[in-house]
Amino acid sequence: MTDHDLPVVAHWFDGAAAPSASGRTAPVHNPATGAVRAHVALADQADVTAALASAGRGLAEWSAFSIAKRQSVMFAFRELLNARKGELARIITAEHGKVVSDAMGEIARGQEVVELACGFPHLIKGAFSENASNGVDVYSIKQPLGIVGIISPFNFPAMVPMWFFPVALAAGNAVIVKPSEKDPSASLWLAQLWKEAGLPDGAFTVLQGDKVAVDGLLHADEVQSISFVGSTPIAQYIYETASKNGKRVQALGGAKNHMLVLPDADLDLVADSAVNAGFGAAGERCMAVSVVLAVDPVADELIAKVAERIAKLRIGDGAADAEPDMGPLISAAHRDKVSSYVDVAEADGARIVVDGRGYTVDGREDGFFFGPTLLDEVPTTSRAYTEEIFGPVLSVVRVKTYEEGLALINSGEFGNGTAIFTNDGGAARRFQNEVQVGMIGINVPIPVPVAYHSFGGWKKSLFGDAKAYGVHGFDFFTREKAVTSRWLDPATHGGINLGFPQNS
């Protein structure tokens, strides 16, 4: 097959796949084989304009649906997703590389938000105060924003868009999803599913592309809000640009998550958790644990237990019948970047306990694999400690006390997730109070909140005020009106009054 025979992953306008006006494309790889499997359209301004028109048509129809009718579409989508999610998981694995069971896990967490959103009438119903003043009632109503933009990263091509679009749609908005150009097909599959569920054409629009597509959305007057997830420098750019253009914005950025292990912790549970959270999805999770802070004297025993578990991990093609534990990284360039961080750690004096550099898989020699890597005594001044690596590299830092570990966590620029492992409830309680991080696990390694709470970090892990999903999500995707109304009682009509309104 030549490059010309490969499929082109298109936009989705007005309820159908739509070719690009730009003619620009980018290759989409299967990371397990290294082969190009498709090309994705990269939008230009004409495509952005077409996406806005599509969403505008969808908005007009969808926002006029009654709550009951909107709810029936949400439930239909949930049923279709639940019945057919295996198809979506295979698409994710083919373009992202994570193993199929992990792709199913990502979909399950997204489905939770769909299920939350099915109950939306309760969450958008506003409030009523009868007789706030004599004969005066005050009430608030929540209305959709209009067209909202969702820009997502490569690492969760289904779950991250699902953090936002079920809530945005339930609230009556039309969405334009701009997927990562590295794994763009999941969003198209979801678009088709919405169509089958009965969503009006255009209410779920997909705009494929790169910075040109993103900038088009950031500068379009029709777009009322931006929900972004990706790396910190881009999150900051999105936040600043969208805010300057008068949009509501939530921009979730990168992470460097620490696990603090106190001497009284169950070290088998800690080792299992560290391996799960450090190497699952090849470390390409914003909630991955990348640093274990081992409080004296646990480091030696813990490192031995983690190394023992690493030796048993099976690395390979995530789509293989005998499913491995861990798949490849997203691209050759990213694999090389991860590798360079291990070089940096080594040069800075870290001890390499398990070295994943140069890892190859039989029969998949061109895949973007990187073996699980365990580093000990990583200096906290090293870039390998301070920067996000986003790969299967777990660094151990030895600390003498709880206070020393806490101070390290709080000195970092990120504040996404963290975990403490201990059997001391008092220490855990102190940690949850003192740590400067948005999502905290207590003997739980990847504390992604359930759908009825909200997801978001502190510091450079979240720009903006609103987290994703939960009550934050419904607040973000609705605009409130407060109505003060007076219906005169025919018996007590008071005549003209020029005074300032007061409660009396």
Record the tokens describing residue 375, joined without a space: 């580093």
Q: Is 118 a catalytic residue?
A: no
- Using the contact rule CB under 6 A, the part of the chain among 53-61, 86-94, 154-162, 377-385 near ligand NAD is 154-162
- Using the contact rule CB under 6 A, the part of the chain among 17-25, 124-132, 178-186, 439-447 near ligand NAD is 178-186
Judged on CB neighbours under 10 Å (0-12, 13-18, 19+), 184 is buried
| Residue nearest ligand NAD, Cβ-based | 230
Distance CA 334, CA 216 (A): 27
Positions in 344-383 near ligand NAD (CB under 6 A): none
Task: Check residue 473 for interaction with ligand NAD (CB under 6 A).
Answer: no
Least distance to ligand NAD, CB of residue 234, Å: 4
Least distance to ligand NAD, CB of residue 415, Å: 10
Closer to ligand NAD by Cβ: residue 183 or 201 = 183
* Helix boundaries (H) for 370-485: 383-386, 402-411, 425-434, 470-476
Closer to ligand NAD by Cβ: residue 77 or 239 = 239
* Helix boundaries (H) for 198-248: 211-219, 232-244
H or E element, residue 106 = helix 100-118
Contact 138, 482 (CB under 8 A): yes
- Using the contact rule CB under 6 A, the part of the chain among 4-12, 223-231, 290-298, 307-315 near ligand NAD is 223-231
CB atoms within 10 A of CB 426: 8
Least distance to ligand NAD, CB of residue 315, Å: 21
The interaxial angle of helices 185-197 and 159-170, nearest 10 deg, is: 30
Q: How far is CA 324 from CA 72, 271, 361, 426, in A?
A: 39, 19, 11, 39
What residue type is assigned to position 283 of the chain? Answer: G
Distance CA 402, CA 369 (A): 36
Task: Check residue 151 for interaction with ligand NAD (CB under 6 A).
Answer: yes
Closer to ligand NAD by Cβ: residue 382 or 461 = 461
x/- binding map, residues 382-421, to ligand NAD, per CB under 6 A? ------x-x-------------------------x-----
Closer to ligand NAD by Cβ: residue 85 or 178 = 178
Least distance to ligand NAD, CB of residue 141, Å: 31
Least distance to ligand NAD, CB of residue 211, Å: 4
What residue type is assigned to position 278 of the chain? Answer: G
Closer to ligand NAD by Cβ: residue 144 or 456 = 456
Strand partners, 394: 374
The interaxial angle of helices 45-62 and 211-219, nearest 10 deg, is: 50
Contact 58, 226 (CB under 8 A): no
Check the CA dihedral 383-384-386-390 and report its sign: positive
Closer to ligand NAD by Cβ: residue 200 or 457 = 457
Positions in 449-468 near ligand NAD (CB under 6 A): 457, 461
Least distance to ligand NAD, CB of residue 289, Å: 13
Positions in 228-247 near ligand NAD (CB under 6 A): 229-231, 234
Among 51, 252, 345, 397, binds ligand NAD (CB under 6 A): 252
Task: Check residue 159 for interaction with ligand NAD (CB under 6 A).
Answer: no
SS3 label, residue 259: strand
CB atoms within 10 A of CB 458: 14
- Using the contact rule CB under 6 A, the part of the chain among 152-160, 188-196, 475-483, 492-500 near ligand NAD is 152-160
The interaxial angle of helices 425-434 and 402-411, nearest 10 deg, is: 20
Least distance to ligand NAD, CB of residue 437, Å: 12
Distance CA 62, CA 65 (A): 5
- Using the contact rule CB under 6 A, the part of the chain among 153-161, 272-280, 338-346, 477-485 near ligand NAD is 153-161
Residues 6+ positions from 74 with CB-CB distance below 8 Å: 114, 117, 118, 120, 166, 169, 170, 197
H or E element, residue 177 = strand 174-178
Task: Check residue 161 for interaction with ligand NAD (CB under 6 A).
Answer: no
Q: Which of 286, 326, 393, 435 is catalytic?
A: 286
Closer to ligand NAD by Cβ: residue 332 or 353 = 332
How many residues form the binding site for ligand NAD (CB under 6 A)? 27
Task: Check residue 154 for interaction with ligand NAD (CB under 6 A).
Answer: yes
Which residue, 395, 414, 323, 47, is CA-closest to 207?
47
Among 81, 94, 118, 286, binds ligand NAD (CB under 6 A): 286
Closer to ligand NAD by Cβ: residue 172 or 447 = 447
Positions in 62-101 near ligand NAD (CB under 6 A): none
User: Under the rule (CB under 6 A), what is the footprint of ligand NAD?
Assistant: 151-156, 160, 178, 180-181, 210-211, 214, 229-231, 234, 252-255, 286, 388, 390, 416, 457, 461
- Residues serving a catalytic function are 286
